[in-house]
Amino acid sequence: MKSMPVAAACALPASKMQRTVYVNRRTDMITTGGRHPMKVTYSVGFKSNGNVTGLDVEVLVDAGRLRLFHNAKAGESPEYTLPLIWDKLAEFKQRRMVVEEFNATNKWRKRGISRVPAIYGVSMRSAPGRVSVLSDGSIVVEDLPRWLSRKAFTCQNIFGGDCDLGKPHQLGLSAIDKYVEVNILTGETTILRTDIIYDCGKSLNPAVDLGQIEGAFVQGVGFFMLEECLMNSDGLVVTDSTWTYKIPTVDTIPRQFNVEILNSGQHKNRILSSKASGEPPLLLASSVYCAVRAAVKEARKQIVRCSSNSQQGIDLSSDFELPVPARMPVVKEFCGLSVVEKYLEWKIQQMKNI
């Protein structure tokens, strides 16, 4: 939606002057960058020892004009394949044991693992498009996104007449198993392996759905790990170029990236029994954040265990809030290695005492 003002700003003068008009990247990012405006009001009750006894939070989010999407009624039983998907990630326990063994034998690199389910409601909305049947019997689909055109091309021979449009709401179900490795000296995060199982209903074009799932996931990784939006005191975006606003690159992609499409078969309430595959997989990227937090937690435990005598007064507890996006400097800081010099001094002194 944010691209529309930029397109309109170019289209109007281009039409008036009959010349090519463009907006440079910096102006585009200043105009459309950022997150939804929010106002948070809160009050907290706590005891003298710091224990929180009560919390009252009011969050106002300006997300623009929305329709009522969540229209499920009480008593409805939607198709629910999440338990099956969850069970298919059965190797999670074995991988967690491998991660624990690695962390016990490696001092400066720690690994974290997480498993995350996702349920994403998708509503059908109107969109412009044109389907032309030519005199030679060929069909032309225009003014649609490329991925949707490919799906339409795949399904052109399924129906010869009208078809049931089904219900305008569906659930996207998926789960992910992921583990990462964190260099606690630099804060660098490497995604070692990702396993995604996604319920696509009856996939109309598995190749397109596969690309949508992988692409949405990588975009989500950018949100959780890289894309920090900074503003100055005047409210203007200062991360206004790819030099300051970091997006996913080839290094962001997991070293081993496994995606399985679960075909849950025919269903009368879905269009051609299919399910959306564009937006829902983005939520699965939260697993990267969870795995990184687990690795950071292990690093903090190690420092407390090894150098508790030399770091009194420094809070390295296992209860902490890792910011989003969890960029390299943030991860390094939360690993506790801002006090690495004290740790090394303690280690040297320990060796001298041997």
Q: Which residues participate in catalysis according to the annotation?
A: 279
Q: Are residues 175 and 223 in the same domain?
A: yes
Which pLDDT belongs to residue 214? 93
Pick the range with the lowest mean pLDDT from 136-150, 161-175, 258-272: 161-175
Residue 172, domain member (yes or no): yes
**Which two tokens mark 140?**
């032309």
Number of domains in the chain: 2
Query: What percentage of residues in the chain have a pLDDT greater than 90?
Result: 31
What mean pLDDT do residues 67-78 have? 50
Residue 298, domain member (yes or no): yes
Q: Give the closest residue to 145 by CA, choosing from 201, 196, 215, 218.
A: 215
> Residue 87 and residue 194: Cα distance in Å, rounded?
16
Q: Are residues 46 and 180 in the same domain?
A: no
**End position of a domain, from candidates 61, 93, 112:** 61
Residue 142, domain member (yes or no): no
Q: Are residues 303 and 209 in the same domain?
A: yes
Q: Are residues 103 and 214 in the same domain?
A: yes
Residue 249, domain member (yes or no): yes
Pick the range with the lowest mean pLDDT from 113-122, 160-169, 222-231: 160-169
Please report, for the domain that includes residue 191, its CATH number.
3.30.365.10
Q: Are residues 245 and 313 in the same domain?
A: yes
Residue 45, domain member (yes or no): yes
Pick the range with the lowest mean pLDDT from 107-116, 123-132, 241-250: 123-132
Q: Are residues 47 and 182 in the same domain?
A: no
pTM of the model: 0.71
Q: Are residues 229 and 289 in the same domain?
A: yes
Q: Are residues 51 and 177 in the same domain?
A: no
Which pLDDT belongs to residue 313? 47
Q: Are residues 91 and 196 in the same domain?
A: yes
Residue 235, domain member (yes or no): yes
Work out the mean pLDDT of the chain and round it to a whole number: 79
Banded pLDDT at 297 (limits 50, 70, 90)? very high
Q: Are residues 108 and 241 in the same domain?
A: yes
**What are the tens digits of pLDDT across the range 226-243?**
999 888 888 788 888 888
Residue 163, domain member (yes or no): no
Q: Are residues 331 and 223 in the same domain?
A: yes
> Residue 161 and residue 7: Cα distance in Å, rounded?
36
Residue 162, domain member (yes or no): no
Which 3-state string (H, E, C) describes the chain? CCHHHHHHHHHHHHHHHCCCCCCCHHHHHHHHCCCCCEEEEEEEEECCCCCEEEEEEEEEECCCCCCCCCCCCCCCCCCCCHHHHHHHCCCHHHHHHHHHHHHHHCCCEEEEEEEEEEEEEEECCCCCCEEEECCCCCEEEECCCHHHHHHHHHCCCCCCCCCCCCCCEEEEEEEEEEEEEEECCCCCEEEEEEEEEEEEECCCCHHHHHHHHHHHHHHHHHHHHCCCCCECCCCCECCCCCCCCCCCCHHHCCCEEEEEEEECCCCCCCHHHECCCCCHHHHHHHHHHHHHHHHHHHHHHHHHHHHHHHCCCCCCCCCCCCCCCCCHHHHHHHCCHHHHHHHHHHHHHHHHCC
Which pLDDT belongs to residue 194? 93
Residue ranges making up the domain that contains 16: 1-61
What mean pLDDT do residues 92-101 have? 90
Q: Are residues 35 and 111 in the same domain?
A: no
